[in-house]
Amino acid sequence: MARSLTLTITLGCLAACTGPGPGADLPDAAGLPDAPGLPDARPDGPASDAPDSDPAPDAPPLVGHPDWTAVAAMCGTLSDVAWISDGDVFLACGSHGLLHVTTAGVDVWQAPGGAVSRVAAAGGEVRALACKTVYRYAAGTWISEGTVGTLSLCGMGFAGGDGGWFVGTRSFGGNGGFWRRDATGWVVGADTVRGFEDIIALGETEFVANTIGVSTGLNHMRRVGTSWTSVSDHAFGVRAMWRAGTTSTIYFANTPGNGPGGGEGGIYRWSADAYTFEWDPPGLERVNAIWGRSASEIYAAGDSGTLVRSTGTGTWTPMPSGTTANLAQIWSWNGSLVVASPTTIHVVP
């Protein structure tokens, strides 16, 4: 059972602060060297090494918020987010490890298994994926649950929900498939010619995933008896997915030029193995992230600072993000919306 030491750092202005904090002057966490970070799991994803194009000078942190500029510098390259609450979030930061940001400060964890590519929360549990090793968070400590995907690349799909946990692979040439967690630990679910990424777990024996490889698309998988069956399969490239609470409704975004119904990119709603088009960026910017506080408060973000909101009625309304960065993550903190590119974090004004 592998355990590791974490370093706790108090950053900038937290909830009790009333003015600028010292976060910008903090040294890099645990003396970690700068690293280029992981490549984006999607071949045409936002460039992780592109500089932010915002011309605005640095501003003092907002009251009730960490110094997100300092957090972004500690993270290096942000690859995934697990939102727990408005004062509790986990950030997967590649070779810089994993940051647990709370109102008390930032815990920095460096995984023995390698760069942390994914982090997910479900059913009161938090797990992280460091290359091919899964770790579970328990009482402030990360505990190894073993290695999965022995023939896989490190940028795999990872998700939990309704009692199910899945890890998908990204290899080609028959080395695809997925692993799942059961009462005995992590076991092989299926070995296929597809790779499974951006997974949404619907239970212990069911999930929806973006698949790549021999056939690319949105695939609904369910176990019937001892075999896994593709319930539905839509052949288009998916960039982001989000499930509306515990409902069967999933919102997804696809790549411009590779979408259902006419080939345009945009946001779609999936339910009962059918999808409905809802919104397309006017300039064909890529939508890289979808997230919501509830089924009636949903946000999507993408290239050039694109940010839109929906109340779940099928209408999406553009809103200012306060940045022109290529956004790839969304979460909430202290009642405010927070958006991030791979290298920058911004509070939406």
Per-residue pLDDT in tens (0 to 9) along the chain, 349 residues: 444 445 656 555 444 343 343 333 433 433 434 434 333 334 444 444 444 444 444 555 566 899 999 999 999 999 999 999 999 999 999 999 999 999 999 999 999 878 999 999 999 999 999 988 899 999 899 999 988 865 556 667 788 888 899 988 765 445 567 888 988 998 888 877 677 878 899 999 999 988 876 667 788 989 999 888 888 887 777 889 999 988 889 999 886 655 555 445 689 999 988 888 899 887 778 899 999 999 999 999 999 999 999 999 999 999 999 999 999 999 999 999 999 999 999 999 9
Q: How far apart are CA 68 and CA 89, in angstroms?
A: 12
Q: How far apart are CA 251 and CA 294, in angstroms?
A: 12
pTM exceeds cut of 0.75: yes
Strand partners, 206: 203, 222
Q: CA torsion angle for 87, 88, 93, 96 (degrees, to 10)? A: 90
Could you state, in order of their start, the residue ranges of all structural domains in the chain?
1-147
183: left (phi over 0), alpha (psi -120 to 50) or beta: alpha
Q: Please name which of 79, 109, 100, 199 lies closest in space to residue 148, comparing C-alpha atoms.
A: 199
Q: How far apart are CA 256 and CA 250, in angstroms?
A: 19
SS3 321: coil
